[in-house]
Amino acid sequence: MTLSPSTSAVVIGASGGIGQALVSRLVASEAYAPIFALARSQPSGLQGVRTQAIDLGDEASIAAAAARVGEAGPVGLVIVATGILHQDGVSPEKTVKALDPAAMAAVFSINTIGPALIAKHFVPLLARTGRCVFAALSARVGSIEDNRLGGWYAYRASKAALNQILKTLAIEVARSRPEAIVVGLHPGTVASNLSRPFRPDPNAEGVLQPDESAGHLLRVLGTLDVQDTGGVFAWDGTRVPA
């Protein structure tokens, strides 16, 4: 997945299961230097990377992290590996009666507004010539066309909104960086804290381990070209409907 020579890679959400796995695989690939692992709490146990605290709910924190990354030169890859499905006071709604404005705001803050602010401050760091990538973890349930089960209002809507932001961003970025690729990524059902309450058996059929998912996602990114910018792609390479 080598892009422009001497470009860095940035993983936001590097303390999560998929984020850590992405960082580890990027280090092993030796395709980028340096590699930045950014998270709300300082990532630990990651070798060969530069760490930095970042809070998606605090734009000043995002701007400060971007400034530090920018000191290392042009960026070839940014992956936003953050997301929220449940936490204290937040859980997927089974019915419209369960909607809570505070919970919805929390979900949109992390799943939609946070990645948008990451784009605001990190896209200007992308290399202006050569292939570069800005990607964010989305979800198949964010597809409006593919919604056949209903439920999960806030999560679905936040990911659908993220997909629209990525599409709009792709159009804008193409004007200044014609070889750039902006995409959403569906990582599959991964054995992580996000999915554990809904898929408690990490060895169940169809559940990927974080390292498996990370490997698939990086492989998919390596196959995309500028014609794919603005789309959302699953871990197996298939395009997720809008």
Q: Encoding tokens for residue 200?
A: 């408690």
Residue 201 near residue 153 (C-beta atoms within 8 A)? no
Determine the pLDDT at residue 3. 45
Q: Which helix (H) or strand (E) holds 138?
A: none
Give the C-alpha separation, 79 to 82, whole Å: 9
Per-residue confidence (pLDDT) for residue 2, from 0 to 100? 43
What strands lie across the sheet with 180-186, from one edge to the other?
Answer: 50-53, 35-39, 8-12, 75-80, 132-137, 180-186, 232-234
Looking at residue 45, its pLDDT comes to 66
The pTM (predicted TM-score) of the whole model is 0.93
Q: What is the pLDDT of residue 234?
A: 98
Q: How far apart are CA 110 and CA 55, in angstroms?
A: 10
Which DSSP category does 149 fall into?
S
Per-residue model confidence as pLDDT tens for the chain (242 residues): 444 457 999 999 999 999 999 999 999 999 999 999 999 987 666 778 999 999 999 999 999 999 999 999 999 999 999 999 988 889 999 999 999 999 999 999 999 999 999 999 999 999 999 999 999 999 999 999 999 999 999 999 999 999 999 999 999 999 999 999 999 999 999 997 655 555 545 667 689 999 999 999 999 999 999 999 999 999 999 999 99
Q: What is the C-alpha separation between 155 and 132, in angstroms, rounded? A: 28
Structure tokens at 90: 């937040």
